[in-house]
A and B are shown apart, each in its own frame.
Chain A
């Protein structure tokens, strides 16, 4: 079965603090992992995907196959990072399976 777990509904940090949004997955093959972000009143948009191994807006995520995790990290949070973050996986057929999402709130 394909499943994505984001254990935290809400993560609240102060500006400048490090951020780690957790994501664990369950999939029998080799999935593609993604982080999507949804800012207030905006559409879902891709933040990053594990294949590209790039840093977007200071965020990085490393796929750990041993721990089946794809945690999203940023060393110094900014207020504009406040949003809903969804971890998702894509297996055969390319449909996306989403986690429940984590609200990141960055306080000044």
Chain B
């Protein structure tokens, strides 16, 4: 069964550094999402992406964040200048054209020191 994959599984970075989190959605899916979960808190929506553009973003998704689908398979989340409070688990999800079930990746645990 096809799965969403994410790399890296863990990333440690220094405050102020840029990070890129990578996701490979299921191949025929059209809608892509990023969520994050700070330790002990809820899973929160960050951004949705369709047809090569952002369709919705949350208040969390400020100018420090950007998303890209550079090559038709990868879907990336970039944080330009990381802050301590960006430390969280980041989940990618994708949905097919029927917009039914969101399939989640295993997550990337980001730790900002």
A residues apposed to B, CB below 8 Å? 36, 42-46, 49, 86, 88, 93-101
CB A8 to nearest CB in B, in angstroms, measures 14
> What chain A residues lie within 8 Å of B104 (beta carbons)?
36, 43-45
Partner of B48, one of A46, A93, A99: A93
A43 to B58, CA, bound (A): 23
Decide: A95 and B48 in contact? CB cutoff 8 A.
yes
Decide: B33 and A95 in contact? CB cutoff 8 A.
yes
CB B102 to nearest CB in A, in angstroms, measures 6
CB B27 to nearest CB in A, in angstroms, measures 18
Decide: A98 and B43 in contact? CB cutoff 8 A.
yes
Residue of A nearest to B46 (CB): A95
Decide: A98 and B102 in contact? CB cutoff 8 A.
no
